[in-house]
Amino acid sequence: MNDATEPSLPSDTPPVASLYDGSLYFNRELSQLDFNFRVLAQAQDERVPLLERLKYLCISCTNLDEFFEIRAGSLRHAQDLGLLPGSDGLAPATVLSRIHDRAADLVSAQYECWNGVLRPALAEAGVRVLSRDSWNTRQKRWLLSYFRDEIMPVLSPLGLDPAHPFPKILNKSLNIVVVLEGRDAFGRAGNLAVVRAPRSLPRIIQLPESVSGGPNDFVFLSSVLSTFVDELFPGMEVKGAYQFRVTRNSELLVDEEEVDNIALALRDELVGRGYLRAVRLEIAEQCPDDIVRTLLENFDLNENAVYRINGPVNLNRVTQVYDLVARPELKFPPFHSRQLSGSEAMFELIGRGDVLLHHPFDAFTPVLELLRQAAEDPHVLAIKQTLYRSGKDSPIVEQLIQAARNGKDVTAVVELRARFDEEANLGFADRLQEAGVQVVYGVVGYKTHAKMLLIVRREDGRLRRYVHLGTGNYHSGTARLYTDLGLFTAHPEIGNDVHLVFQQLSGLAPAIKLKRLLQSPFTLHDGVLKRIERETQHARNGRPARIVAKMNALNEPQVVRALYRASQAGVKIDLIVRGACTLRPGVAGVSENIRVRSIIGRFLEHHRVYWFGNDGEPDLLCSSADWLERNLLRRVETCFPVLDPEIAARVHAETITNYLEDNLNAWELQADGSYARLEPDPGHPPHSAQSALLASICG
């Protein structure tokens, strides 16, 4: 499946005059949008278990929602402000126009997958999501009763007239616009009405087996509302009922330098988040044009913001079927993460040498166990931790609270602006403060995205620092779903570096000099550029030169240009980039030595690993940061070396060699912007990087 994001640039194109030429850069938003075609391809792949394919479809829909809430919303803001184009040279208005066309292709492919592939396949497997025209008399009678008893009492239909202007519509909520004829009890003429579905109502309704005849039969709430909406307007005739959904900008814009208390400011912003500026309208395919125009006018949208839908506007809600259906043969086989031997004595274990965890193949529980032991250990004096995404009921937070209650000095650097987790983070920040934890909200203007845990323990009359550094969040739930690396170490220099970073975050400290860690926004960007330049010089001097980097996204222009110069010098470069990549590989004279691949599998690829050959003395780093402008220049991030040779060899084998050998879940970025799915070459066995890790680590 090839999905072009930009006009074709053949690999035999003559070298461009400048590495600043816009033709050398893909647009970040369009590249991110195309990632969802690769996710959707998993839903279309018959090798994937059926209910997992359904889940991939829903993930692609949810990702598209977030894309409009954040990326498209930010672009409209940039357009309003008249901001200049980025490296690709495309103005925001041009990008928005291309987004509409590309997103329309994606939406069409999603509903084709649902209507033509997955829904029939699920029905054949005994999991039926019944359409309105397939309900039999018994099913319809039960659903009418359900509507009257469970749905209608919580609905508040609103007729539109001078006394009832168009209501506020909550972001991504399910709504029905109804066309009416006749007069109501007060003699008012019917025209249009809006029925809003409260979020308390289930979007997927399971029919009793005694009614439907099958154990796994479901209907969409939207179908029930559309069918029985006339019950809400007695004495009037319903001429049409059309579901719609509006997506709004969800990026909270708090001017931190203009507020006295960021927590209070965010609380105020969160109240209105669901009603920010509209960016997209999804509406039933058969809705008349005049009604669509009315909705567009109400939401202050133009024609390129509307998407006509052949199915439920909230298709991603069908993911509930995955959880409701107990059919293990239709899902990925379960796996058991490897437990860390010796974790009952974490300080002793880490004191003997560095320990690596590779999630989700290695269990996340040692991180929780280290905190639990630290909270109870009388020799532990202080605990410091960054929290970006931790979840609402986080065991991490509970352990920090317990540690504070046990008299430890506990500091938590809580990033309140973690997108879509602001409310959860505000909640547990309050709980931490109530328990006596010193809560720090990071640095004005810079999100704290670093993943660090520091424990100070008194041993034999001296203080020793124990550290955990990771590429992912301190979230035990996502640790089962994301691939990430975590390193436990008691290395004195790393411990001191982490201590200095915490001091800087909490104490308004001056610039610091770190011995082992690289840190954004100070040394990480420059450190990456210097390492790329070092490989470039090796190549120019005729020595071996190699770069392999794995990350989630790449768009920082200086890094891209440095990689182009390295390629021109002869450095062989492999980039494993899950999502957006603005670098254009395969351009003659510029990037023919660069390959870019994306891995889409059972788990979300999330670890960031940078490997530089360094003329036979490899330099291997792990980081919380992608090579994005925001991560390298506008966030607090950490990047840490893997110093133990055996652990470094393991990281290289598991995250680099293993992923470069993947020929089942890998997509290669072409010079024209399309992605080609790789297939095993003749004579080469099929290889899935994630499956290999499941087999070798989880057994």
23-330 CATH pick, 3.30.1840.10, 2.40.30.200, 3.40.50.720, 3.40.50.1220: 3.30.1840.10
Average pLDDT over residues 520-540: 97
To the question of whether residue 419 is assigned a binding role by annotation, the answer is yes
Task: Give percent of the chain with pLDDT exceeding 70.
Answer: 91
Residue 421 reports pLDDT greater than 80: no
Q: What is the pLDDT of residues 615-654, one digit of tens each?
A: 999 999 999 999 999 999 999 999 999 999 999 999 999 9
Which DSSP category does 361 fall into?
T
Residue 255 reports pLDDT greater than 70: no
Query: What is each CA distance from 5 to 293, 300, 558, 574, 669, in whole angstroms?
Result: 30, 28, 22, 21, 11
**Class (C level, CATH) for 346-516:** alpha beta
pLDDT band per the 50, 70, 90 thresholds, residue 365: very high
To the question of whether residue 2 is assigned a binding role by annotation, the answer is no
Residue 267 has what pLDDT?
Answer: 53
Q: What is the pLDDT of residues 424-445, one digit of tens each?
A: 777 788 888 899 999 888 787 8
To the question of whether residue 482 is assigned a binding role by annotation, the answer is yes
Distance in angstroms (rounded) separating the CA atoms of residues 264 and 278: 25
To the question of whether residue 595 is assigned a binding role by annotation, the answer is no
Q: How far is C-alpha 595 from the chain's CA centre? A: 24
To the question of whether residue 327 is assigned a binding role by annotation, the answer is no
CA atoms in the 13 A half-sphere facing the CB of 421? 18
- Which position has the higher pLDDT, 509 or 253? 509
State which amino acid sits at residue 435: A
Distance in angstroms (rounded) separating the CA atoms of residues 451 and 639: 10
CA-wise closest residue to 68 among 278, 209, 258, 317: 278
- Which position has the higher pLDDT, 31 or 167? 31
Residue 7 reports pLDDT greater than 80: no
Task: Give percent of the chain with pLDDT exceeding 90.
Answer: 76
pLDDT band per the 50, 70, 90 thresholds, residue 9: very low
pLDDT band per the 50, 70, 90 thresholds, residue 85: confident
**Do 520 and 625 form a contact (C-beta atoms < 8 A)?**
yes
Distance in angstroms (rounded) separating the CA atoms of residues 521 and 638: 9
Distance in angstroms (rounded) separating the CA atoms of residues 423 and 263: 10
Average pLDDT over residues 128-139: 94
Cα dihedral 159/160/163/168 (nearest 10): 100
Q: State how beta strands 175-181 and 192-196 pair.
A: antiparallel
Residue 3 reports pLDDT greater than 50: no
Average pLDDT over residues 516-526: 96
To the question of whether residue 389 is assigned a binding role by annotation, the answer is yes
**Do 446 and 262 form a contact (C-beta atoms < 8 A)?**
no
Residue 276 reports pLDDT greater than 90: no
The burial of 507, by beta-carbon neighbours within 10 Å (0-12 exposed, 13-18 middle, 19 or more buried), is given as exposed
**Do 81 and 50 form a contact (C-beta atoms < 8 A)?**
no
Residue 16 has what pLDDT?
Answer: 57
pLDDT band per the 50, 70, 90 thresholds, residue 416: confident
Residue 163 reports pLDDT greater than 70: no
Q: What is the pLDDT of residues 455-503, one digit of tens each?
A: 999 999 999 999 999 999 998 888 999 999 999 999 999 999 999 999 9
Average pLDDT over residues 370-375: 97
Residue 377 reports pLDDT greater than 80: yes
Residue 11 has what pLDDT?
Answer: 44
Which DSSP category does 654 fall into?
I
CA-wise closest residue to 440 among 387, 498, 367, 510: 387
Task: Pinpoint the alpha helices (H) of 276-354.
Answer: 289-298, 320-324, 346-352
Residue 264 reports pLDDT greater than 80: no
pLDDT band per the 50, 70, 90 thresholds, residue 184: low
Residue 392 reports pLDDT greater than 90: no
Residue 162 reports pLDDT greater than 70: no
The mean pLDDT of the chain is 90
CATH number belonging to domain 520-698: 3.30.870.10
Residue 418 has what pLDDT?
Answer: 60
Residue 187 has what pLDDT?
Answer: 62
pLDDT band per the 50, 70, 90 thresholds, residue 600: very high
Distance in angstroms (rounded) separating the CA atoms of residues 655 and 362: 14
Distance in angstroms (rounded) separating the CA atoms of residues 336 and 267: 40
Indicate the pTM of the whole model: 0.92
DSSP string, 74-138: HHHHHHHHTPPP-TT---HHHHHHHHHHHHHHHHHHHHHIIIIIIHHHHHHTT-EE--GGG--HH
For the chain, the C-alpha Rg in angstroms (whole number) is 27
The sheet with strand 306-309 has its strands ordered as 158-159, 192-196, 175-181, 237-248, 278-284, 306-309
Catalytically active residues are: 449
Residue 472 has what pLDDT?
Answer: 93
**Do 248 and 274 form a contact (C-beta atoms < 8 A)?**
yes
Average pLDDT over residues 663-691: 95
Domains 23-330 and 520-698 share a fold: no
CA-wise closest residue to 276 among 248, 295, 298, 299: 248
**Do 176 and 243 form a contact (C-beta atoms < 8 A)?**
yes
- Which position has the higher pLDDT, 424 or 350? 350
CA-wise closest residue to 624 among 613, 635, 615: 635
Which DSSP category does 442 fall into?
-
**Do 514 and 497 form a contact (C-beta atoms < 8 A)?**
yes
The ranges assigned to domains in the chain are 23-330, 346-516, 520-698
Residue 459 has what pLDDT?
Answer: 95
